[in-house]
DNA sequence: ATCATATGACGGATTTTTCCGACATGTCAA
DNA sequence: TTGACATGTCGGAAAAATCCGTCATATGAT
């Protein structure tokens, strides 16, 4: 399900691509200048992100502008939420558990 | 920095391990029954999670109980936060942008 | 039509991940 | 001590990811 989203985010370069897109849509050639990578390598990273629907591209003249699809990252947030409850419960009640757990 | 956390979460089996640990600490032998994997494969997944400090293990008799280190997942949350702002801004103001972006 | 530019996709090499069986260590019980 | 059990680690095989150069396609300019 969200397997693709998580594994896409498992790569440093792809996370940086997403961060760059925070400032607005960017073309492939604009992005490639930010990385010590060939254009084809970057193009494949974009394909992974596209496949996970984390980005989409819009034709713009003879280039393609990539932009974020922010909703996808909500999946991460949703997966995270049971853990957030976990650590909230942890901090509120059971401080004495800690001393025994940390050696 | 949090590279290890993200790439640890890039694997389905490791995410499931974390989910199982939500119910409480578990031994390796208890965990291995939940997966179609050899014990050594699972042990290596646990090593990756341990290395990312997403879990810790406590000796308990002749077994080791693995438990979550919830704080680590906050790093994901923090990385996500600029994107949350992004999509919040998106939804609030610029609905007319949408029509041009989605083809 | 022709040429330059921007990009995606392919083929193949290298590296990394994932997995397993086997071995080593450490704990508990008899 | 000896034996059973739980676990970590190692060596190596198989699979997947990453990267590059090259080719194919599409758009825009001349």
* pLDDT tier, A64 (very low <50, low <70, confident <90, very high otherwise): very high
pLDDT of amino acid B91: 64
Q: Estimate in Å the CA B83 to C1' D27 gap, whole number.
A: 32
pLDDT of amino acid A86: 80
* Closest-CA residue to A35 (of A49, A10, A21, A16): A16
Phi-psi region of A61 (alpha: psi -120 to 50; beta: other; left: phi over 0): left
* Closest-CA residue to B18 (of B52, B77, B74, B68): B68
What pTM, to 2 d.p., does this model score? 0.88
* pLDDT tier, B93 (very low <50, low <70, confident <90, very high otherwise): low
B78 to chain A, any CB pair closer than 8 A? The answer is no
Give domain limits for chain A.
3-102
B103 to chain A, any CB pair closer than 8 A? The answer is yes
Q: Estimate in Å the CA A91 to C1' C15 gap, whole number.
A: 42
* Closest-CA residue to A97 (of B58, B72, B26, B74): B58
Report, as an integer, the average pLDDT of A38-67. Answer: 97
Q: Is the CB of A11 under 7 A from strand D?
A: yes
Name the residue in chain B with its Cα closest to that of A18.
Answer: B83
| Cβ pair A86:B68 closer than 8 A | yes
pLDDT of amino acid B29: 98
A71 to chain B, any CB pair closer than 8 A? The answer is yes
pLDDT at B13 over 90: yes
CATH number of the B3-102 domain: 1.10.10.10
- pLDDT tens for each residue of B40-91: 999 999 999 999 999 999 999 999 999 999 788 999 999 999 998 877 776 6
Task: Give the residues across from A63 on adjacent strands.
Answer: A60
Half-sphere exposure of B11 (CA within 13 A, CB side): 15
| Cβ pair A73:B83 closer than 8 A | yes
Cα of first residue to Cα of last residue in chain B, in angstroms, is 38
- Tokens representing A100 are 């025994």
pLDDT of amino acid A15: 98
């Amino acid at each position: 399900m969200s397997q693709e989203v998580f594994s896409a985010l498992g790569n440093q370069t792809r996370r940086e691509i997403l961060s760059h897109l925070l400032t607005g849509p960017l073309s492939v050639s604009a992005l490639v200048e930010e990385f010590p990578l060939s254009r084809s390598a970057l193009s494949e990273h974009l394909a992974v992100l596209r496949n996970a629907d984390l980005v989409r591209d819009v034709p713009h003249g003879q280039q393609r502008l990539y932009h974020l699809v922010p909703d996808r990252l909500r999946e991460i947030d949703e997966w995270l939420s049971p853990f957030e409850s976990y650590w909230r419960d942890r901090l509120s009640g059971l401080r004495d558990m800690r001393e025994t757990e940390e050696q």
